[in-house]
Amino acid sequence: MTRSRFTLALAAMLAGLAIPARAEEPAIAAHRIALGAGGGVCGTVPDVGVIVGVPLAGRLAVDLTLAWQPRVALTPESMLVMAAARIPFRAGSRYALIAGAGRLQPRHVRSGDSGLFPTRGRLVHPVVGASLQWPRGRVVDLRIDAAAFFVTNSEIPVIPRAVALLVWHSPSARPIAPAGGRRP
């Protein structure tokens, strides 16, 4: 029985579809201090800020964030300060859980201003989210953070925050492993 090229190509294509593709994960991250800057949105307000990541024992790292939010409509200009633990989902992974606390401090409040965050009562709020990081060069990574502030004394109980950052880190003494974890 002879098979045409079309039949063989179709069989190869179907065989490729039958094998589930494994999601590619970025290269394994080395433990090092990181400095980043970027922008995003918190609720409905844009923000611009900086982040410092400090590795601790094991896989744990602490991120300190300082962001400025401009005045938009009736939302006053504000400063966001956040401290969060970053825990990789797996050893060496660049995908991580973020858990911590943040405070949004309004500045230059005018009469009639309102905002997403309350200005009285509890001002420090829990934050939970995810951090995704991809290498863009030897010492630069692209990082996307998506988090939620849980505000118990406000009309809106959950306020989302999403930011994109370029993160600089010192060169690693060890080579970065490719996806799959094997070193060259």
What is the number of helices (H) and of strands (E) in the chain? 1, 8
Domain that holds residue 141: 32-169
Domain assignment present for residue 70? The answer is yes
Does 82 map to a domain? yes
Residue 61 lies in a domain: yes
Is 75 a domain residue?
A: yes
| Inside any domain, residue 154 | yes
Query: How do residues 142-151 score in pLDDT, each as one tens digit?
Result: 999 999 988 8
Q: Give the residue with greater pLDDT, 172 vs 48.
A: 48
* Res 12 pLDDT > 60: no
Write the CATH number for 75.
Answer: 2.40.160.20
179 within a domain of the structure (yes/no): no
Q: How many domains does the chain have?
A: 1
User: Over the stretch 42-68, which tens digit does the pLDDT of each residue have?
Assistant: 888 899 999 999 988 777 899 999 998
